Amino acid sequence: MNSEGHTFRNGKEEHLRREESVRSSPAPLEFDTPEQVLRRDREEVAVPTEVARRLEASLGQEPVRRVSWWRRWLGLGRGKGE
Amino acid sequence: MSPVVSEPDTTHAQGPLAPAEVLGSEAFGAVYQEHSQAIYYLALRYLGDPERAQDVTHDVFLKAWRHLGSYRHEAAWKTWLYRIAINHCRNVVGSWSARNLVSNADEAVWEGAEAPTDSPLRVLEIKELGERIRSTLDHLSEEYRLLLLLVADERLSYEEIGELTGQSADAVRGKLHRARKAFTHHFKASA
């Protein structure tokens, strides 16, 4: 294999790699205001399910009526005796 | 006995239910579904600590449950919950700010500063956004941080933000102007 052909092929592969890299790289995100930045960030944030579980447990300790609806709301299924 | 509500009714989350109704129905679940994300996000970015944000979110809804009797029917659920959350966050900050928060950056510097609006706020990838925001908010005073987080909730008016932060809507506008400059400066510097 001559070195010229080898260099050409390497150069072509490099070019293709760069093109692929450009295609697969997401476009930068741009925002006009801080509020837009924060709103976009908020979309990425979910409340950990642990919070709902802890809240359900806490409400179960409260001296109030039915809390079994929490299980349905939080997708935890039915509790004992329901 | 009134029938149990089987489907989420988010209109309840805006305020028409009286406390007694909420205690005895599934409506509190609707309130949680409607507002927990906003409360968690506020706590997360205000405190900069996911674990404490979880604690605050849990505590806010537990307090709301316990104090439904003090809920003013004419107020929207979101402002009532935000008020509880802000008070709770401030208590948390008061107990550990010396160790964990950069507080009270010099706000006066933003009064006459030129607004750096010549170029947009840019992030290369969404995965870097959270860290950039955390770093940026760390540089802002607690007041600026809170105002920006509240105004980012498009459901709140300036009047409501003023009510929540104990100032007039005009004062909110003026401070937000400076808070935006500060945020923009630090956000760009964090790139």
* Domain stops at, among B54, B73, B100: B100
Determine the residue of chain B that is closest to A61 in CA distance: B62
Split into its structural domains, chain B has a count of 2
| Total domain count, chain A | 1
Per-residue model confidence (pLDDT) at position B144: 95
Asked whether residue B33 falls in the same domain as residue B112, the answer is: no
Cβ–Cβ gap B32/A52 under 8 Å: yes
B54 contact residues in A (CB cutoff 8 A): 48, 50-51, 54
Q: Is residue A79 part of a domain?
A: yes
**Which residue, B100, B120, B148, sits at the end of a domain?**
B100
Q: Convert the pLDDT of each residue in B138-153 to its tens digit.
A: 999 999 999 999 999 9
- Report the candidate in B18, B64, B28, B9 with the shortest Cα–Cα distance to residue A66: B28
**Closest to B63 measured CA to CA, from B84, B43, B46, B79:** B84
Provide the pLDDT confidence category of residue B79 given band limits of 50, 70 and 90.
very high
ipTM entry: 0.79
Full residue range of the structural domain in which residue B62 is found:
12-100
Domain of B70, CATH number, reads: 1.10.1740.10
Q: Taking the alpha carbons of B63, B65, B66, B70 in that order, is the dihedral positive or negative?
A: positive
pLDDT in tens, B4-31: 223 333 344 444 445 545 554 467 888 8
Please indicate, yes or no, whether residues B112 and B169 belong to a single structural domain of this protein. yes
Same domain, B75 and B38: yes
Q: Is the CB of A41 less than 8 angstroms away from the CB of B133?
A: yes
**Would you state the pLDDT for residue B45?**
97
Full domain range(s) for residue A82: 32-82
Write the DSSP symbol of residue B16: T
